[in-house]
Amino acid sequence: MTEQADRNLLDGIRAGRREDCARLVHDHYQAIYRFVLHLTRSEAEAEDLTQDTFTDAWEKIGAFEGRSTLRTWLHRIAYGKF
């Protein structure tokens, strides 16, 4: 995603647009899942931690300052779960 696309997506999520929330998950789920699977070596645990990552992201979306990409931010949240 481009920086502008990230900003547009964030604006939509913060405005409560469900389609933008779904878009974030659609665009990043597989990358986060593969990352966590690499760390855990467990498909079941990777699925749980990936879902937990997105749950935490929703709770913290207001604190995201944009100093990194959404992808980097989500990976950092996921790594913190491990």
Q: What is the pLDDT of residues 18-70, one digit of tens each?
A: 999 899 999 999 999 999 999 999 999 999 999 999 999 988 988 888 888 89
Q: Rounded to 10 degrees, what is the CA torsion of 59, 48, 79, 26?
A: -70
Residue 75 CB contacts under 8 Å (≥ 6 apart), including other chains: 31, 32, 35
Q: What is the pLDDT of residue 1?
A: 62
Grouping H, G, I as helix, E, B as strand and the rest as coil, residue 45 is helix
DSSP state, 61?
G
Grouping H, G, I as helix, E, B as strand and the rest as coil, residue 12 is helix
Closest listed residue to residue 36, CA positions, set 1, 69, 81: 81
Q: What are the structure tokens assigned to 81, written together? A: 């779960």
